[in-house]
A and B are shown apart, each in its own frame.
Chain A
Amino acid sequence: MDKVVEIKNLSYTYPDGTPALNGVSLDAMEGESIGIIGPNGAGKSTLLLHLNGILQSKNGAIKVLGMPLTNRNLRKIRSKVCLVFQDPEDQLFMPTVFDDVAFGLINLGYHAQAVRGKVGEILERVDLSGRENRSAHHLSFGEKKLVSLATVLVMEPEILLLDEPTSNLDRKEKRGIIKFLQEIDKTKIIVSHDLEMIEQLCQRVVVMNRGKVVFTGDKEILKDDSRLKSFGL
């Protein structure tokens, strides 16, 4: 298996001086699902923002799909590495569901016919056919989460970065999302507090605390409550 993400000794401090990452190293293999857990403020989301180059740090090196993450490679990397934000209201900004899902495809330069076909297909997969012309505002929260996923999956990314995919969902909606994510065989890096979901989706778990990776290993750790507590969880 190939390494699709290589992070070496990454450190990052926010412009206001808040330290967020402190010497993080992490590899991800092709097709693997990694769950990143840790207390609030541990730097989990900041790490995700580095993986498609939204945040760029001078300290440390990131390689994605064999390419070093530099401004030259940025466009290419962003078409292969897709990030789903936690709040669907941020992810869905266009007037209709169709426009939102089509947004990335059009930017990638697909033709109108192909865009229509792909959007229809992905909406069918998330069971939201017929909502194309709705405004995101008229959808339920669970539907918004699904459409958010659809907006990036339609771009057929190699690596999927998910920030809290199940937050604020009821049990049924959560099951729907987990089932849907299980069917996707791409590399997934999932940041969450939802240990139940991480256990169902991921083979490998990374625990972060205060900007550092404090544990990497099998998901068995999720059952060891005292160890999780020692990591600040």
Chain B
Amino acid sequence: MKHAFLDKYSDLGSIIHRVDPRVKVIFFFVLILVIVSTPPQELLKFSGYFLMLLILLLLSRIPLLYVFARSLVIIPFVLLTAIFIPFFKGGEVAGSYNFLTLNLTISYKGILIFQNILIKSWLSVLSLTILTSTTKFSSLLKALETLKVPRVIILIASFFYRYIFLLIDQIMKIKNARDSRSFKKNPVYQFKIIGYMIGELFIRTYERAERIYLAMVSRGFSGTIHTLESFKINRFDLYFLGSLITIIFFIRLWR
């Protein structure tokens, strides 16, 4: 079965794609830290970061719509956690409503914090979307590995990336098998079936893990996975990192 891949546009080969993955990881990490530490009322600075991301995006030749659609995925989660903040903050009251027996008041401070969370989380996810769509997932893992991210985390991500589509395939197959001979529409019965499906999936995954381990052992695995490093930082990477970090700090510290 066919899937959309996580790193769909990572083969394009633009300037941004060719930058050393380690440099990109460091840059976007610094950028996110700077974004998060910017005071909430400085909207001009946020526009500055956005402009910069937009320029990177245009240089990378990835379809804008794709990246924006991707980055919006996070918004529902943010809304869900942040929606109540405007009601709970004290300070100058922006408006108050009576809803049945509840008296709801919204403060300016609350709105500011809400807006702050929304903007920061969206800009951060936008940054990460650009990073992951301009870097192959395997290179990204390698970059993180050379930047001393713990091996266990890299391994989990690596196996996850390798087997997630296979797992989805299996779910689809089980679902197809169910649908081709399931006639009862009784929801209680359906729930029971879903329970069996989850169990079945667990057993299959467990057994696959066992076989993968045997395949690893057969090729001399003894506890740690080693890979070859294949990155070379060139002068352009250093210019890229230096100039962009200068720009973001300039935006951040400008009064």
Interface residues of chain A, those whose CB is within 8 Å of chain B, are: 49, 52, 54, 75, 78-79, 82-83, 85, 87, 89-96, 99, 102-104, 106-108, 112, 115-116, 133, 135-138, 151-152, 155
Contacts and interface: CB of A to CB of B under 8 A. Distances in A.
Interface string B205-249: 000100110111111111001111000000000000000000000
Given A94-B162, A112-B228, A115-B228, A107 B138 contact: no
A87 B211 contact: yes
Contacts of A112: 228
A54 B215 CA distance: 10
A14 to B, nearest CB: 13
Contacts of B141: 95
5 contacts: A89-B166, A90-B214, A95-B137, A103-B216, A107-B219
B158 interface: yes
Nearest to B139: A133
A107 B221 contact: yes
Given A99-B138, A102-B228, A106-B226, A54 B217 contact: yes
Contact of A152 (B217, B219, B227): B219
Contact of A54 (B138, B218, B222): B218
Given A95-B141, A115-B228, A137-B162, A107 B211 contact: no
Interface of B: 5, 136-138, 141, 158-159, 161-163, 165-166, 208, 211-212, 214-222, 225-228
A95 B161 contact: yes
A99 B227 contact: yes
B219 A103 contact: yes
Contact of B227 (A87, A90, A106): A106
Nearest to B165: A137
B162 A95 contact: yes
Given A78-B220, A106-B227, A93 B161 contact: no
A13 to B, nearest CB: 18
Contact of B218 (A83, A115, A133): A83
Contacts of B162: 92-95, 135-137
Contact of A90 (B211, B221, B222): B211
Contacts, number: 85
A137 B214 CA distance: 20
B208 A155 contact: no
Given A95-B158, A99-B227, A102-B227, A90 B208 contact: yes
Contacts of B216: 93, 103
Contacts of A83: 215, 218
A91 B215 contact: yes
Contacts of B227: 94, 99, 102, 106
B228 A108 contact: no
B219 A151 contact: yes
A78 B166 contact: no
A52 B214 CA distance: 10
B220 A93 contact: no
B138 A135 contact: yes
Given A89-B208, A93-B215, 4 more contacts: A78-B219, A95-B158, A99-B227, A137-B166
Contact of B220 (A95, A104, A135): A104
Pairs of residues from A and B, 8 with the lowest C-beta to C-beta distance, nearest first: A107-B220, A104-B219, A95-B138, A90-B211, A96-B138, A83-B218, A106-B226, A91-B215
Contacts of B228: 99, 102, 106, 112, 115-116
Contacts of B5: 138
Given A89-B166, A137-B165, A155 B214 contact: no
Contacts of B159: 93
A78 B221 CA distance: 10
